[in-house]
């Protein structure tokens, strides 16, 4: 059993860090002809869970893989140094040691993919993660609404990078998408990418506030053309956040961009992903649409705060045959 777990956890997990996306010159020819068939998209994802399932030790291995792809997040108004330090400890030790030992994974070095915090909490995360390779992601550019000037957005990015963030999650100006001002959106994202310097940039589209899949697809293309290393669904603050349907639209744009340029752009669904079963659905979708290369933390992340707790609970059930109360797996 342990060999099966180790093999399935590590298959497609170890991958080189992808080259940065340098983007393309702005040209609407890449997305002018896009017109998304909503019913076809929803029919495709509606059959996904019925056609594919992962069981027993394979499910445990996939859940371990999912942990390594979580941006463990705290973006609450009452965040303090204390709960950021606690979050970072959970990121370093995401599963109880006794469970890892029973799974034969005690020496796997399992951590979450990153921790994600507000700008002012970066120093505390840096303190807690010293000596590890866990990235610090910071939300920026007037998160979550993005209703500040472009100059303020760029300044905020630079301050976050200087403070120690190695990944920056930016929010776009949604009005530019709603009004189809694609050139202006391109320039905004490109300037944000330049301000990030060596830090990787994830561009949040806030898809719950974009009325059509066609506009989601066009915004995805513009964000990638402008140099985004990842495209991300949501801030987690919208009334509708990540869904499988919007994910399918975005990852097919990623696939088309890769076929055009040879550059692999990452994907991050965020908001509302709370259960292990949901995580498996997203991993299956990624495997089917993009392939194994994207099943690693360099190209796929979950933006989540409570998902880890349910995954740990499911792993305990796999080991013991019993479900424990959620409070036995705190700070997730």
Looking at the annotation, which residues are catalytic?
169, 232, 268
* DSSP letter for each residue of 216-259: HHHHHHHHHHTT-SEEE---S-SSS---HHHHHHHHHHHHHHHH
Residue with tokens 């991993």: 283
Cα 303 from Cα 120, distance rounded (Å)? 19
138: β partners: 117, 168
74 neighbors 117 (Cβ within 8 angstroms):
yes
For residue 286, give Cα distances in angstroms to 27, 47, 56, 226, 267. Answer: 28, 15, 20, 23, 9
DSSP element (H, E) containing 115: strand 114-117
C-alpha separations of 224 from 142, 154, 220, 248, 267 in Å: 21, 18, 6, 16, 11
For residue 152, the SS3 value is helix
User: Quick one: tokens of 152?
Assistant: 């303020």
Structure-block tokens of residue 209: 């506030």
Cα-to-chain-centroid distance, residue 146: 19
Question: How deeply is 249 buried, as exposed, middle or buried, from its count of CB atoms within 10 A (0-12, 13-18, 19+)?
Answer: buried
d(CA 165, CA 159): 9
């Amino acid at each position: 059993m342990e060999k099966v777990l180790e093999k399935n956890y590590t298959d497609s997990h170890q991958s080189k860090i992808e080259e940065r996306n340098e983007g393309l010159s702005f040209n609407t020819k890449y997305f002018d002809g896009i017109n998304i068939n909503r019913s076809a998209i929803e029919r495709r994802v509606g059959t996904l869970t019925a056609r594919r399932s992962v069981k027993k030790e394979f499910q445990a291995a996939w859940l371990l893989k999912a942990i390594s792809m979580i941006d463990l997040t705290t973006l609450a108004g009452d965040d303090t140094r204390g709960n950021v330090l606690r979050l970072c400890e959970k990121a370093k030790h995401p599963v109880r040691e006794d469970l890892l030992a029973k799974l034969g994974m005690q020496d796997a070095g399992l951590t979450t993919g990153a921790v994600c915090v507000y700008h002012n909490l970066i120093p505390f995360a840096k303190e807690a993660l010293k000596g590890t390779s866990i990235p610090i992601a910071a939300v920026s550019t007037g998160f979550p609404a993005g209703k500040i000037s472009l100059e303020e957005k760029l300044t905020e990015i630079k301050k976050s990078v200087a403070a120690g963030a190695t990944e920056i999650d930016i929010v776009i100006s949604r009005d530019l998408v709603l009004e189809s001002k694609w050139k202006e959106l391109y320039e905004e994202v490109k300037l944000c990418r330049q301000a990030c310097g060596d830090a990787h940039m994830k561009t949040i589209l806030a898809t719950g506030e974009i009325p059509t899949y066609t506009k989601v697809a066009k915004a995805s293309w513009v964000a990638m053309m402008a140099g985004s290393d990842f495209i991300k669904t949501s801030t987690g603050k919208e009334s509708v956040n990540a869904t499988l349907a919007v994910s399918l639209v975005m990852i097919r744009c990623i696939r088309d961009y890769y076929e055009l340029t040879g550059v692999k752009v990452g994907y991050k669904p965020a908001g509302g992903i709370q259960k292990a079963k949901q995580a498996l659905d997203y991993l299956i979708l990624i495997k089917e649409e993009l392939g194994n290369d994207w099943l690693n933390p360099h190209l796929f992340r979950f933006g989540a705060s409570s998902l880890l707790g349910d995954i740990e609970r499911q792993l305990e059930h796999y080991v013991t045959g019993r479900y424990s109360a959620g409070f036995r797996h705190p700070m997730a």
